[in-house]
């Protein structure tokens, strides 16, 4: 049985993101894509527009000096333009002397074969906020 196109799209996105290939990630998004990131940290909020979302991802790589990865555990789809990606996130912030290892999920809305909305859920918002910190 072939993988659903929405699941394949999400897998391509995770693969490109893990490699730090923001150009490839951007090609999978609509121009008005929004990423909703929980909490009160410097990467939290409703980041609107593909370029702004990609800038936020670049900031994550910058803050962790590339010491960040995501293990995709599963992708579930509803066949109506939604996909949920369960994952485990690992990162280190040498400047803060701390690391993070946390379960999470991303809920994708897919329109016309492109990602138009990403809702992020994390296991512990307070720990995530502490790890990412406030804007300096």
Q: Where are the domains of the chain?
A: 5-132
CATH of domain 5-132: 3.10.450.50
Mean pLDDT for the chain? 95
**Pairing of β 114-122 and β 82-93:** unpaired
The helix (run of H) or strand (run of E) holding residue 130 is: helix 125-132
- With cut-offs at 50, 70 and 90, classify the pLDDT of residue 2: confident
- With cut-offs at 50, 70 and 90, classify the pLDDT of residue 34: very high
pLDDT in the model for residue 136 = 63
Looking at the chain, the whole-number percentage of residues with pLDDT higher than 70 is 99
pLDDT in tens, 54-101: 999 999 999 999 899 999 999 999 999 999 999 999 999 988 888 999
pLDDT in tens, 39-48: 999 999 999 9
Strand order in the sheet with 29-37: 45-48, 29-37, 114-122, 98-111, 82-93, 68-77
Please name which of 30, 35, 37 lies closest in space to residue 9, comparing C-alpha atoms: 30
pLDDT in the model for residue 94 = 86
């Amino acid at each position: 049985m072939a993988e659903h196109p929405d699941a394949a799209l999400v897998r391509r996105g995770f693969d490109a993101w893990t490699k730090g290939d923001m150009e490839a990630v951007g090609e999978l998004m609509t121009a008005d894509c929004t990423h909703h990131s929980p909490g009160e940290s410097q990467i939290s909020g409703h980041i609107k527009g593909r370029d702004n979302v990609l800038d936020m991802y670049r900031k994550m790589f910058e803050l962790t000096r590339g010491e960040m990865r995501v293990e995709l555990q599963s992708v579930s789809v509803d066949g109506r333009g939604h996909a949920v990606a369960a994952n485990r996130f690992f990162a280190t912030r040498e400047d803060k002397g701390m690391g993070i290892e946390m379960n999470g999920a991303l809920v994708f809305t897919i329109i016309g074969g492109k990602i138009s909305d990403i809702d992020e859920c994390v296991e512990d918002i307070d720990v995530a906020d502490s790890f990412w910190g406030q804007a300096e």
